[in-house]
Amino acid sequence: MKTIVVITMFLLSYSVLSAQNSSSADKDRDALNKVLHTFMNSLKTKDSTSLYNLFYEGHVTWIGVYKEKTQAKRSQNSPNILDYKTSDYKTWFRTTTQGATKEEKFYNVNIDTDGSIASVTFDFSFWAGGRKGLWGKESWGLIKINNEWKITSVIFSMEQENISPEPDRNQ
């Protein structure tokens, strides 16, 4: 009888812990999805305060690499042109939000987290004035500080739509 009670207690405590871990993982995924939504909305509405709040206060890696077809076209006039560009989120935001309304759309989002760090990868398309200009793959590294997710790195590939149209990805 004691054995049955011990096994039952163990299974109940395991079930409770699994439910708590699942609930915590769901909360993290919801919070990370909110970071994505806030990023997209901040860009569209040109809200620098909301966007800047998403980032870690220290150094944040920001680098984009041109995909092969776009780089080949770019290098026709300038053979030594770099196949990447670096920036920081504040400079990127200030230059990007000038002129027509900009929008970045994310799809095929994949979130991987242990509750303290996270990686978020997705396909993206970048739009200006209602027209797609760029598309590619993007990856963010995030850390949780004081129970808030902060972006620590942004790396992405870029293909210009007018050089190599984005394949249909069932958006």
Q: 71-81: per-residue pLDDT in tens?
A: 999 999 999 99
Q: Is it the case that residue 90 has pLDDT exceeding 70?
A: yes
- 84, 87, 92, 94 alpha-carbon torsion, rounded to 10°: -140
Q: What residue type is assigned to position 56 of the chain?
A: Y
| Nearest partner of 39 among 99, 126, 118, 116, judged by Cα | 126
Dist. CA 121–CA 38, nearest whole Å: 16
pTM: 0.84
Q: Is it the case that residue 1 has pLDDT exceeding 60?
A: no
Residue 18 confidence (pLDDT) = 41
The 3-state DSSP class for residue 123 equals: strand
Residue 168 confidence (pLDDT) = 85
Residue 4 confidence (pLDDT) = 58
Residue 10 confidence (pLDDT) = 45
Per-residue pLDDT tens over the stretch 36-72:
999 999 999 999 999 999 999 999 999 999 999 999 9
The CATH number of the structural domain formed by 27-160 is 3.10.450.50
Mean pLDDT, rounded, of the chain: 89
Dist. CA 10–CA 70, nearest whole Å: 59
Domain segments of the chain: what residues?
27-160
**What is the mean predicted confidence (pLDDT) over 151-171?**
92
DSSP E strand stretches across the chain = 61-66, 84-86, 102-113, 117-128, 131-145, 148-160
